[in-house]
């Protein structure tokens, strides 16, 4: 019921009430009646829910989250490397 | 990364390595806390992510998930389902609804049973399909059995808006929309003995994703401020949930009690104002709405404003819709599960008499129900 699918807007009807979105290769129509005039443009990423565009996805915020995850993984790698060196240093059998 | 691609919105938020990285961060932080933290994920969508990706196994034993009542099908009391059944059985009615509503048993049976008795019951992807059905069936009354939280309420309001603008006279609404903050308050505040003992168990809330897209994070403001419960509004993907949990743990570690948004890519403080405007135009609060398992919850339901009562199926069909409350099956513990008092596995009929193919309780019917999630992802299928 509350799940929503990220999609990309590929077409907007002339009266701006309906758009066509691409959801991972599947094309379908969605109502724009909840978004206000000029709320959505072609190329926008949107969340789709029961046939409506419910909100635009903020590209900057999405990229910033992805960047954070990348940094966390890099920091983890670095920490694991340090840990491995530390364990190696402390190894009694050296 | 220079430009966002659509697959980033799926892949990066389901990435196994990132999930594991957050598991390590949570484990490290939780170790420094000398206590358990019980986190209620209010929304059924979160419950499914948690079970599907095995997140309880990825967090340390002092972090507990409590599954909340955020499944609109699960919280529907039997008398409301009976309304749908009775309306569907009228020879001039086409009953239209969303989701798993069609399978939930009321005291007279499910809508599926009504259909097998000759009723015209239709399941639609979008409420807007009612318009097409109404135009194709001018001699019938289309009753839209509207369910859902803040996430689906504006779509019902937009449908009514279009019905009025297009002068369509054969669409009626049976409204069962409910709101999230009121039930969260009920869980914290109620003097009910069960909920009281449960009260001590909720330490923080993982705020719903798409309710918050519509209503904004502002609806949870009072939980950290007035009730001392941190809220982190989180997305539905597993990385979102793990990051949300990590943010909650960090709040406890740093002695903070705040409202935060993890799901920043779509949720902001104010929400979708167009959607809120159309809801306010057509709906108003009902003083009490009876929730399955929780009983009457003040100000938690919506109804059409009186000036739109000609579209209200409960008014138009008042003479055939009973008002009496109907209790649940004695062996079913959906009520306790919806209150977070019990896990599905504590139910004696879970997976035996009650299965997705023959559900006794609504938590087994809905794809967002906790029992359905435990059954599906607990290797029982």
Question: Contact at 8 Å (CB) between B231 and B204?
Answer: yes
Within this chain, domains B8-72+181-261 and B78-173+275-316 share the same CATH topology: yes
* Cβ–Cβ below 8 Å for B211 and A76: no
pLDDT digits (tens, 9 = 90+) for B257-305: 999 999 999 999 999 999 999 999 999 999 889 998 888 999 999 999 9
* Cβ–Cβ below 8 Å for B4 and A67: no
The residue of chain A nearest to residue B239, with distances taken between CA atoms, is A69
Q: What is the pLDDT of residue B2?
A: 73
Chain A residues touching residue B126 (CB < 8 angstroms):
31, 50-52
Is B137 an 8 Å CB contact of chain A? no
Of all residues in chain B, what percent are helix, strand and coil, respectively (each to 5)? 45, 20, 40
* Cβ–Cβ below 8 Å for A8 and B151: no
Question: Contact at 8 Å (CB) between B284 and B299?
Answer: no
Is A67 an 8 Å CB contact of chain B? yes
Chain A residues touching residue B25 (CB < 8 angstroms):
72
pLDDT digits (tens, 9 = 90+) for B175-231: 999 999 999 998 887 655 455 455 457 899 999 999 999 999 999 999 999 999 999
Chain B residues touching residue A26 (CB < 8 angstroms):
none
Give exposure, B261-271, as e/b (b: 16+ Cβ within 10 Å).
bbbbbbbbeeb
- Centroid of chain to Cα A2: 17
Question: Contact at 8 Å (CB) between A47 and B267?
Answer: no
pLDDT digits (tens, 9 = 90+) for B73-90: 888 999 999 999 999 999
Q: Which residue has the tokens 């059944």?
A: B85
CB B208: neighbour CB atoms within 10 A? Answer: 32
Is B265 an 8 Å CB contact of chain A? yes
Tell me the pTM: 0.92
Question: 3.40.50.10490, 3.30.750.200, 3.40.50.11740, 3.90.79.10: which CATH number matches B78-173+275-316?
Answer: 3.40.50.11740
What is B8-72+181-261's CATH number?
3.40.50.11750
More confident residue, B357 or B27: B27
Q: What is the mean pLDDT of residues A61-81?
A: 91
Helix ranges, chain B (H): 8-11, 16-31, 44-52, 55-58, 78-88, 111-116, 129-136, 153-165, 180-189, 193-199, 210-215, 222-226, 238-253, 273-282, 313-316, 334-338, 362-365, 370-377
The residue of chain A nearest to residue B242, with distances taken between CA atoms, is A69
Chain B residues touching residue A34 (CB < 8 angstroms):
154-155, 158, 272, 274-275, 278
* Cβ–Cβ below 8 Å for A3 and B45: yes
Q: B255 CA to chain A: closest CA distance, Å?
A: 23
Task: Using DSSP, state whether A60 is helix, strand or coil.
Answer: helix
Is B15 an 8 Å CB contact of chain A? yes
Asked if the ipTM is above 0.95, the reply is no
């Amino acid at each position: 019921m509350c799940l929503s699918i990220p999609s990309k807007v590929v077409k907007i009807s002339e009266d701006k009430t309906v758009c066509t979105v691409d959801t991972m290769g599947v094309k379908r129509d969605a109502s724009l009646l909840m978004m206000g005039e000029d709320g959505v443009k072609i190329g926008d990423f949107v969340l789709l829910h029961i046939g409506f565009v419910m909100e635009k996805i903020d590209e900057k915020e999405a990229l910033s989250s992805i960047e954070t995850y990348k940094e966390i993984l890099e920091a983890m790698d670095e920490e694991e490397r340090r840990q491995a060196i530390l364990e190696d240093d402390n190894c009694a059998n050296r | 990364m220079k430009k966002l691609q659509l697959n980033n919105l799926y892949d990066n938020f389901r990435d196994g390595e990132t999930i594991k990285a957050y598991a390590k961060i949570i484990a490290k932080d939780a170790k420094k806390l000398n206590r358990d933290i019980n986190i209620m994920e209010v929304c059924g969508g979160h419950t499914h992510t948690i079970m599907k990706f095995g997140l309880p196994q990825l967090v340390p034993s002092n972090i507990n998930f409590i599954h909340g009542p955020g499944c609109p099908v699960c919280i529907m009391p039997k008398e409301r389902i009976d309304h749908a059944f009775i309306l569907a059985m009228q020879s001039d009615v086409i009953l239209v609804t969303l989701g798993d509503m069609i399978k939930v048993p009321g005291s007279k049976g499910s809508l599926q049973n009504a259909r097998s008795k000759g009723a015209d019951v239709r399941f639609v992807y979008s409420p807007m399909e009612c318009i097409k059905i109404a135009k194709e069936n001018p001699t019938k009354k289309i009753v839209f059995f509207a369910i859902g939280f803040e996430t689906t309420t504006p779509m019902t309001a937009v449908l009514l808006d279009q019905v009025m603008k297009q002068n369509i006279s054969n669409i009626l609404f049976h409204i069962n929309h409910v709101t999230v903050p009121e039930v969260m308050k009920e869980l914290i505040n109620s003097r009910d003995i069960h909920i009281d003992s449960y009260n001590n168990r909720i330490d923080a809330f993982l705020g719903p994703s798409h309710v918050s897209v519509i209503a904004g994070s502002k609806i949870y403001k009072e939980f950290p401020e007035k009730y001392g419960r941190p809220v982190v509004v989180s997305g539905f993907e597993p990385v979102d949930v793990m990051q949300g949990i990590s943010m909650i743990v960090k709040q406890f570690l740093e002695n903070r009690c705040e409202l935060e948004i993890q799901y920043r890519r779509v949720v902001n403080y104010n929400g979708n104002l167009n959607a809120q405007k159309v809801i306010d135009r057509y709906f108003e609060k009902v003083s009490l709405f009876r929730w399955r398992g929780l009983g009457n919850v003040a100000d938690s339901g919506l109804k059409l404003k009186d000036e739109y009562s000609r579209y209200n199926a409960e008014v138009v069909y008042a003479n055939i819709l009973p008002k009496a409350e109907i209790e649940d099956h004695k062996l079913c513990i959906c009520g306790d599960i919806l209150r977070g008092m019990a896990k599905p596995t504590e139910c004696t009929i879970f997976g035996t008499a009650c299965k997705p193919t023959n559900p006794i309780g609504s938590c087994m019917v809905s794809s967002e129900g906790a029992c359905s999630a435990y059954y599906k992802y607990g290797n029982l299928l």
